[in-house]
Amino acid sequence: MVRRGWPMMDTRASILPLRLDRLGFSAGGADLLSDISLTVRSGRRLLVIGPNGAGKSLLLRLCHGLIQPNSGRVIWADGSVRPRSQAMVFQRPVLLRRSVRANLEYALSVSGMARVQRKAPTDAALRRFGLAPLARRAARLLSGGEQQRLAIARAWLLQPEIMFLDEPCSALDPGATRLIEETIAGFATEGMTLMMTTHDLGQARRLADDIVFLHKGRLVEHGPAADFFDAPKTREAGAFLAGDLLW
């Protein structure tokens, strides 16, 4: 297990594994997610796949604590309601109207780090994600790929135990997508737990340790990626892998 957190961040008990207990969410009378129970284990790359409208993004938001479930519970190992040691990267990154560096420092500032302590981690993030030459540029003027890289750098800077990624490559070209995938794989080798949605089966094959397959708001399959792709247990999963299940 690699050391987690910057020297000045206090390291608490691990928040993983994350358990979802019969999670349900409905809006406007429609059940968007129901009866989701699963365990997200530490150090694994969990890919959430399924056709459009299956509830993939919603599941991530419930786990991350942005939305409260109507039923069931999200249970963190340390017993906290919404632990700090988690981060999320959105499909369309929301960057502050400031420089690249200021966007990174902002995340540290919110996490309570004193101003003088922010410089070293920020420099590290700029270097690691190849953003150093862009440090003074306005974040909003970066290309799509650069913006997503900054969003990921910002999430990484919080040194989360678990990072949620919601279709992080859906708006990017193949080159930028590859770069992001390499970055994500790098996180995993360092021991970070990942939970990520994608609509790209190739990406899921490349990145996943485990697969969660959702369909119409229900958890249909959950297991090691190799098993899922080689021999899906359900008719829906088979149809989805064959490209016959569109929603």
Contact residues for other proteins (CB under 8 A)? 61, 64, 66, 84, 87-88, 90, 93-94, 96-99, 106-107, 110-111, 115, 137-141, 154, 158
**Of 77 and 138, CB closest to other proteins:** 138
Question: Degrees (nearest 5) of the Cα angle 167, 86, 140?
Answer: 55
Q: Quick check: 137 and 97 in contact, CB under 8 A?
A: no
**Of 187 and 213, CB closest to other proteins:** 187
Closest distance of CB 164 from other proteins, Å: 9
**Of 7 and 97, CB closest to other proteins:** 97
Closest distance of CB 231 from other proteins, Å: 36
> Could you identify the residue written with the tokens 């030459």?
133
**Of 107 and 219, CB closest to other proteins:** 107
**Of 138 and 245, CB closest to other proteins:** 138
Going by C-alpha positions, the residue among 84, 87, 77 that lies closest to residue 13 is: 77
Q: Quick check: 160 and 154 in contact, CB under 8 A?
A: no
Closest distance of CB 196 from other proteins, Å: 15
Closest distance of CB 110 from other proteins, Å: 5
Closest distance of CB 61 from other proteins, Å: 8
What angle do the packed helices 174-189 and 144-157 form, to 10 degrees?
A: 10
Q: Quick check: 196 and 177 in contact, CB under 8 A?
A: no
**Of 54 and 163, CB closest to other proteins:** 163
Strands in the chain per DSSP E: 18-27, 30-40, 45-49, 71-76, 86-89, 162-166, 193-197, 210-215, 218-224
Closest distance of CB 105 from other proteins, Å: 11
Alpha carbon dihedral 212, 217, 220, 222, in 10-degree steps, equals 20
CB count within 10 Å of CB 9 equals 18
Q: Can you read off the two tokens belonging to residue 61?
A: 């938001």
Closest distance of CB 151 from other proteins, Å: 9
What is the spatial distance between Cα 209 and Cα 227, in angstroms, rounded to a whole number? 10
**Of 61 and 216, CB closest to other proteins:** 61
Going by C-alpha positions, the residue among 10, 186, 161, 18 that lies closest to residue 86 is: 161
